[in-house]
Chain A
Amino acid sequence: MLEKIKEIIVNYVEVNPDEITAESRFIEDLGLNSYDFMCMLGDLETELDIAVEEAEVVKLQTVGDAIAYIETLKS
């Protein structure tokens, strides 16, 4: 899952994928803004065939949070 998220993040911000970890914060560390973040989640929805809840995803701060959230959707 981390690799899939990395693949998508590098379409939005200029960041070395090797530097993206589960602890990376979307805004502070990776430099995404809220629009980038929502579009990136849209890509994940398409790729993973899931549907996210806006009210929930605004609480996600790190890549690890997103992975955990996606796992709950898939289970």
Chain B
Amino acid sequence: MKELNVNGAVMKCYPLCAAQKLHNYTIRFCPAQVLCIGTGLYVQQEVDFGMLKRAIYKAYEMFETMRLRFIEDENGEVYQYITPFEERDIPLCDFSDRDEEEAHNEMRKWTALPFARYNSPMNQVIMIKLPNGYNGIYLKVDHMTMDSSSIIGFNRAVLETYCSMKYGTEMPKPMKSYIKQLEKDLAYEAGSDAKKRDEEFWKNEIAKDEPMYTDFSGQGRLLTQRRENNNPNQRWAMVISRSPEASISVYSLEHEASMRLMKFCEFYHVPMASLLLMGLRTVLSKFNDDEKDVSVKTCIARRGTLSEKYSGGTRVHFFPLRTIMEEDMTFLDGVRMIQAEQSRIFRHANYDPIEYMAKRRERFPTQAGASYESISLTYQPLTVDSNTKEMPDIPYKSMWYTNGVAGQPLYLTVMHRPEDNGLNFNFEYRKDVVTEHEMQYFYYYLCRVLFRGIEDETRTIGEILEMI
């Protein structure tokens, strides 16, 4: 911690944690808008916007990370600090007489506008009136201050506070201190024994043989790059492209089908993320000549303790999950192998992902921007509607707006819909490497694998690969 002068006031400023450093690293090679996350939460109900505005201010007060700002010191190092509570203007934007898609497009444009990096607010809230009686809020945040868990927590706090004001129900529970949690994270990073143990774990992982790149669109990219580099044994591929322009395609899995996946997980005591990873790695295998060695980047929310869960901020770390599966392994054994592998990784997920990548490049020298993973998976189990029983049976609409660019070729985020708990598959992809049609194709195969697997868990991977 160091004290810095912020607009004439001396403020306690803290270094960035590892998760924030990863985002800060991304904007070295990607436009700053890559860190903007835009969301919309709407209910089909008349809303008292004066009351909603007061609820939003209350939620601002509760969430330290909604008041988080950044500053550069004299050496160019980035620090963070919390501003005291401030009542910023929260405008109302009325789209009720416009086409709904036009309204969402407008919000996509807002999401593509980056925040000023230093001494400036890193979020924006706008109250929204949509056509068809939907009303709610648009929220844009900078990823260095909040991740999807924090965003859902904030939206939930606004809803619960509004319900409390309108219906006299309980106010949301107080949040935990972001700064106290940050201090714990920084203490871990400052050469703690726990960090040394994690470093040893990842060193041993990296010491294993070289992983194999498997692309979501087949072997073309790897084969082309092998030819270009005159290296028929190359196992990595360049995943950074010239244009970061991106788009999001959302596919909604029907409620009944989603429930079948969830019941499978409940029955066999396996996490949904393990099942989804099994689906993904099997499709990647299929698209890459039945490759057995498949790696997928997995998102780890790192919100275990109550302090981690309720302190806001951005905590996500990405690490590769590598599995080598023979064709005679059953689907269920594959899911269980992934579950065990995830459990191993979870225990060492506090390690800095940038340090991991640097160590991996020392072991396997590749070009800058090369990778062994073509897809990143995030499974988000939280929904915004929990604890809002005062608003039962009211139709919800939640939106995640693209910021127009992406740091990697393909991110898949699987989330539960607030309205029916069904699963939405959000594919965010770079337009120059994949088309919407290819995404549809990939999603189709992913569903085929998942449902062939859960309808008979004793089917082998080889059988499933043949069936699809």
Contact = CB atoms under 8 A, between A and B. Distances in A.
B339 A38 contact: no
Main secondary structure of the interface of A (DSSP, over half): helix
A35 B303 contact: yes
A34 B306 contact: no
B346 A34 contact: yes
Interface residues of A, number: 19
Given A12-B304, A12-B306, A57 B269 contact: no
Nearest to A11: B305
Given A42-B347, A58-B339, A58-B340, A27 B304 contact: no
Contact of B305 (A12, A33, A58): A12
A41 B300 CA distance: 17
B344 interface: yes
B196 to A, nearest CB: 14
Given A27-B269, A33-B381, A34-B271, A54 B343 contact: yes
Interface string A23-36: 00001000001111
Contacts of B304: 12, 35-36, 39-40
Contacts of A36: 304
B340 A39 contact: no
Contacts of B300: 35
Contacts of B302: 35
Contacts, number: 47
A38 B348 CA distance: 10
B58 interface: no
A35 B269 CA distance: 14
Nearest to A34: B271
Contacts of B274: 34
A73 interface: no
Given A11-B306, A13-B306, A33 B271 contact: yes
A35 B339 contact: no
B343 A34 contact: yes
A14 interface: yes
B336 interface: yes
Q: Which 7 A-B pairs have the closest CB atoms?
A: A39-B304, A38-B346, A54-B343, A34-B271, A54-B344, A36-B304, A38-B343
Given A12-B306, A34-B271, A36-B304, 11 more contacts: A12-B304, A14-B306, A33-B271, A35-B303, A35-B304, A38-B343, A38-B347, A39-B304, A39-B347, A40-B304, A54-B347
Interface of A: 11-14, 27, 33-36, 38-42, 54-55, 57-58, 61
22 contacts: A11-B305, A11-B306, A11-B307, A12-B305, A12-B306, A14-B306, A33-B271, A34-B271, A34-B273, A34-B342, A35-B302, A35-B304, A35-B346, A35-B349, A38-B343, A39-B305, A39-B347, A40-B304, A42-B347, A55-B340, A57-B343, A58-B339
